[in-house]
Amino acid sequence: MVDWKNPPKLFIPGPVHVLPEVLQQLSRYTLGHRGKEYSQLHKDTVDMLKKILSTEQSVFLSTSSASGVWEGSIRNCIDHNETVLCTMCGAFSDKFAAVARACGRNVEELKVDWGKAVTAEMIDKKLAEGKYSAVTLVHNETSTGVKNPVYEISEMMKKKYPDVLVLVDSVSGMVGMPIEFDKLGWDVVFASVQKAFAIPPGLAVFAVSKRAMEKSKTVTGRGYYFDFQEFAKSAEKDQTPTTPAIPHIMALNYQCHKLLNEGMENVWKRHKQMADFVRSWAKENFALFCEEKYASDTLTTIKNTRGIAVGDVIKAVQAKHNAVFGNGYSKLKDQTFRIAHMGDINMDDLKELLGWIDEEIK
């Protein structure tokens, strides 16, 4: 049983550890979502997110987890007779492709082995072969700990395939790693708040380019809940189409102020420092699951080269120290384990955790 007065510290790659002061934001008095106060909260939050994502285009708040925006990005940006190239390098990018198929779109796969990154050259080669209207990318593959080279991919896309829309899942990357939405020329990027924003789950953030908004008007069967046109109509009043998760937006507003006060460059640097620290421990004691140059700054997937009983070590660390780190995801269970270093987790937390793991594996 969880001791609710002293809950475990989470080092899993989402939901992540949430600070008490952020939790407090979730218990403030609620507001009517059609009133002036809500609109002010909404506008302030969206304006800050635009700064965080370096965009002057649309940013929306979705009361859903990020999977909803997986579906929304497909339903709004790809017509039924069009083909999307889905890049696949792990469990979540595989799911993005499955969602595109579930929405009835033609999917062509670009698949690499788990642990490998998807590169600009691979995408270029594939796009040159056929007629695609969009490509899906996962910025940070939470199962394998791979950070795909999205800046290089975007440069290539802008130069060679300027008409192909770029739909990016940055669920575990956003805030922890650079995203300059307008400069990258992306059409959709999204994340849920239980990752590097360090808020409990229940809300997603997404940005949409002007051209994706225009395209969406021409696509039929967009549905309702994730219809970008509905989001845009409500955004004119600084509102959302349906009743939003207001407590989460209060917490997001709080976290955005904190991020901007720190400065995004510093936030990214802080994540990189934590990643470097965990990576060097991982290399000393085990091995990285992916090539180091593609290793994520928000989580590390560690190859279990010593054959430790991962589940037992997780249980022991939780029982003795009230902290939880992650087992490998799906087929990587026990072959790998994962440590998140994002959001409000800090160096001292990580030093403590790695020390506790050391005690169990020595």
Ligand X SMILES: Cc1ncc(COP(=O)(O)O)c(C=O)c1O
**264/178 Cα distance (integer angstroms):** 8
H or E element in which residue 293 lies = none
- 3-state SS assignment for residue 348: helix
Work out which of 94, 169, 187, 227 binds ligand X, going by CB under 6 A.
169
CB of residue 14 to ligand X, shortest distance in Å: 5
Question: What are the residues facing 85 on neighbouring strands?
Answer: 108, 135
How many Å from the N-terminal Cα to the C-terminal Cα in the chain? Answer: 28
144 binds ligand X (CB under 6 A): no
- Map tokens 């997110």 to a residue: 49
Work out which of 66, 112, 203, 295 binds ligand X, going by CB under 6 A.
66
318-337 binders of ligand X (CB under 6 A): none
CB of residue 200 to ligand X, shortest distance in Å: 11
Stretch that binds ligand X, among 62-70, 109-117, 126-134, 220-228 (CB under 6 A): 62-70
**288/339 Cα distance (integer angstroms):** 12
300 binds ligand X (CB under 6 A): no
Work out which of 39, 54, 57, 65 binds ligand X, going by CB under 6 A.
65
Site string for ligand X, 182-211 (x = CB under 6 A): ----------x-------------------
142 binds ligand X (CB under 6 A): yes
* 172 touches 299 (CB < 8 A): yes
Query: Which residue type sits at 267?
Result: V
Query: Which residue type sits at 348?
Result: D
- 3-state SS assignment for residue 272: helix
**45/43 Cα distance (integer angstroms):** 5
Query: Which residue type sits at 344?
Result: D
Cis ω on the peptide bond leading into residue 162 (within 30° of 0)?
no
92 binds ligand X (CB under 6 A): yes
Of 254, 293, 296, give the one whose Cα is nearest residue 274.
Answer: 296
Work out which of 39, 54, 57, 67 binds ligand X, going by CB under 6 A.
67
Of 96, 165, 86, give the one whose Cα is nearest residue 122.
Answer: 86
Stretch that binds ligand X, among 52-60, 115-123, 164-172, 313-321 (CB under 6 A): 164-172
Which one, 38 or 66, has the nearer CB to ligand X? 66
Stretch that binds ligand X, among 48-56, 64-72, 178-186, 311-319 (CB under 6 A): 64-72
Work out which of 25, 87, 154, 172 binds ligand X, going by CB under 6 A.
172
CB of residue 138 to ligand X, shortest distance in Å: 5
Which residues are near ligand X by CB under 6 A? 14, 65-67, 92, 138, 142, 169, 171-172, 192
